[in-house]
Amino acid sequence: MTDDSLVGKHKTEVETPALLLDMDAAERNITRMAAFFRDRDCKLRPHYKTHKLPLIAHKQMAAGAIGITCAKLGEAEVLLRSGIPSVLIANEIVEDSKIARLVEFARLGELIVCVDDYENARRISEAAGTAGGKINILVEVNVGLDRCGVAPGVPTVGFVKQVSTLEHLSFRGLMGYEGGMFLSDDREKEKRCRECNARLVETADMVREAGFPVEIVSAGGSNTYHLTGTYPGITEIQPGSYVTMDGHNRAFGLDFEQAVTVLATVISRPERDRIITDAGKKAISVDEGLPEVARPGLSLYRLDEEHSRVTVEDGAPEVPVGSKLEIIPSHGCTTIPLHDRYNITRGGYVESVAAIQPRQAL
């Protein structure tokens, strides 16, 4: 089927495996998160890396977001060229070819990038100067995730002093990330989240005391939005998964609607209590565990490359060969880029088809 021929058809008529996006559910999620931040000091800068759809980014902006966060330079280009006015790359850009593109894209709107290495910052400044412009930067602080970032406190203050000497950089503030804190014990999660945010905010205060204005203190994710988004001194938060949701986030207490599913077809029923679908690891990721079938009485117990194996419980509704099933990804961020496009639905019918932009951003 062509994209145009799908519009108006019921979602079960889409050829499989296929990525479905329930836009009604996504819009309710957008509205709910925006309402949480509407009257707070902390503002919303949602992450693009999960949904990868400019249409959703613009809906988030219309609901009150101050800008959009992304992980890759290619994502920033898509967002800026689609008209998003302010984009944060919550990552380091270090290759010379990418730095040249960074400087080029910075002409399209407000573009902010993270740094944690002086030589990298110097090369960005040099490229910006050659192009006759300036690049906005946040210094990334390692608040406990042990990924990128300068150590909090005195080391960050010293680094800010260094990069502030670079003529073609504009220091805007700090970024930390505690959002990967998936803990079952809510009290332990709150405690550790508070410790991470304290490191970031206290470091921001130290930078200010050293004479450098800190406009932005950016942090957080969907998993910690209610904790980080209410922590004094955090100015913006970067949740992404809440828009589309997945099984992993739901298991750790994130209570938003499931908007993304993978549609699969039952292609074999070799036994009464076992069915096989056409959606395997090439259509659904398994890095956060097995996905779930969105139908009572059916349990997905294994994924192969092109197949999923599903147990049929006694008393479950009949599922003949040719039936369509929706499967809930365990991790949306790594499932969505496995597909070229969304089949966007409302009320169970295809409203439009939209390319995932970009699937693998450089």
- The sign one gets for the Cα dihedral 134, 136, 142, 145 is negative
Q: Which amino acid is at 261?
A: T
Q: Quick check: is 34 in a domain?
A: no
Is the model's pLDDT at 1 over the cut of 70?
no
Q: What is the CATH number of the domain that holds 337?
A: 2.40.37.20
Q: What is the mean pLDDT of residues 123-147?
A: 97
pLDDT in tens, 180-195: 789 989 999 999 999 9
H/E run at residue 96:
helix 96-105
pLDDT of 2 reads 59
Structurally, the chain folds into a number of domains equal to: 2
Indicate the pLDDT class of residue 301, thresholds 50, 70 and 90: very high
In percent, the amount of the chain with pLDDT more than 70 equals 99
pLDDT in tens, 55-65: 999 999 999 99
Q: What is the mean pLDDT of residues 84-97?
A: 98
Both 180 and 100 in one domain: the answer is: yes
3-state secondary structure of 16: coil
Indicate the pLDDT class of residue 325, thresholds 50, 70 and 90: very high
Indicate the pLDDT class of residue 94, thresholds 50, 70 and 90: very high
H/E run at residue 314:
none
* pTM for the structure as a whole: 0.96
pLDDT in tens, 209-259: 999 999 999 999 999 999 999 999 999 999 999 999 999 999 999 999 999
Q: Quick check: is 343 in a domain?
A: yes
H/E run at residue 118:
helix 118-130
Nearest one of 93, 87, 95, 41 to 68, comparing CA atoms: 87
Both 277 and 303 in one domain: the answer is: yes
pLDDT of 61 reads 98
Range of the domain at 67: 40-243
Of the candidates 217, 243, 269, which is a domain's last residue? Answer: 243
